[in-house]
């Protein structure tokens, strides 16, 4: 493989494209030039995130894996307006963690001008096809995903919006309302752009008779 001799932006781009090529060859869906995932069921996708750190001497790829949940992401991004508006993107994780948490004994993915790039990107693809995909499948339903989202609620970063959307999609609308009203009182500046239209949406829906 002919790569630039210096670990520069062109080197990073060439290595990343090799990674996405290898993931696509392993069965992941290539939905954009630098974007792959693995569709599961019910709008859940195994999400792939390749974070990079570029130095003159090397390129590190820090892999993340999780789920992208289309109904959750479309729900909250369609509603959130104001200071922090939402915008749907298939490239965004609903929930993800570092692959190192799943495979702590795996060496880091570090590329230099002397690295066998094809061998390393093949190792990356194997990690996602095995541990990564298995993890995504293990959290690919609302009941298992909800407590993971709840564990990150104070990080903000759209986790509160996702919790409300998840509860709503589970049919737990009273809990969704209660959570949203409580969190709005605590974080109005951040949450108002979502919470107000979300509560208005709940108000427009017919009451469920018990």
Among 98, 116, 138, identify where a domain stops: 138
pLDDT in tens, 159-183: 999 999 999 999 999 999 999 999 9
Question: Is residue 13 domain-resident?
Answer: yes
Looking up tokens 């509160």, which residue turns up? 160
Distance between CA 175 and CA 34 in Å, rounded? Answer: 38
Give me the domain span that covers residue 110: 9-69+90-138
- The least confident of 45-54, 182-191, 198-207 is 198-207
Are 49 and 94 within one domain? yes
Q: How many domains does the chain have?
A: 2
Rounded Cα distance between 165 and 31, Å, is: 25
Q: How many residues does the chain have?
A: 210
pTM: 0.92
Mean of the per-residue pLDDT values of the chain: 94
CA distance 193 to 204: 18
Q: Which residue has the higher pLDDT, 138 or 56?
A: 138
Are 117 and 150 within one domain? Answer: no
HEC states along 106-139?
Answer: CCCEEECCCCCHHHHHHHHHHHHHHHHHHHHHHC
Of the pLDDT bands very low, low, confident and very high (cuts 50, 70, 90), residue 208 is: low
pLDDT in tens, 133-162: 999 999 999 999 999 999 999 999 999 999
**Three-class secondary structure of residue 39 per DSSP:** strand
What's the pLDDT tens digit per position in 85-128? 889 999 999 999 999 999 999 999 999 999 999 999 999 999 99
């Amino acid at each position: 493989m002919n790569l630039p001799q210096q670990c520069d932006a062109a080197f990073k781009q060439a290595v990343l494209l090799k990674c996405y090529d290898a993931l696509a060859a392993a069965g992941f869906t290539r939905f954009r030039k630098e974007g792959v995932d693995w569709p599961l069921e019910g709008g859940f996708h195994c999400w792939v995130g390749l974070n990079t750190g570029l130095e003159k001497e090397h390129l590190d790829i820090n892999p993340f894996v999780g789920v992208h949940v289309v109904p959750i992401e479309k729900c909250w991004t369609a509603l959130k307006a104001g200071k922090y508006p939402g915008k749907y993107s298939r490239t965004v994780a609903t929930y993800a963690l570092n692959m190192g948490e799943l495979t702590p004994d795996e060496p880091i993915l570090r590329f230099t001008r002397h690295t066998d790039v094809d061998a390393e990107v093949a190792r990356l693809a194997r990690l996602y096809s095995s541990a990564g995909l298995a993890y995504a499948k293990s959290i690919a339903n609302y009941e298992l995903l909800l407590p993971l989202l709840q564990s990150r609620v104070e990080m903000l970063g759209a986790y509160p919006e996702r919790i409300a959307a998840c509860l709503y999609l589970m049919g737990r609308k009273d809990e969704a309302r209660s959570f949203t009203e409580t969190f709005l009182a605590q974080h109005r500046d951040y949450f108002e752009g979502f919470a107000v239209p979300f509560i208005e949406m709940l108000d427009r829906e017919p009451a469920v008779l018990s």
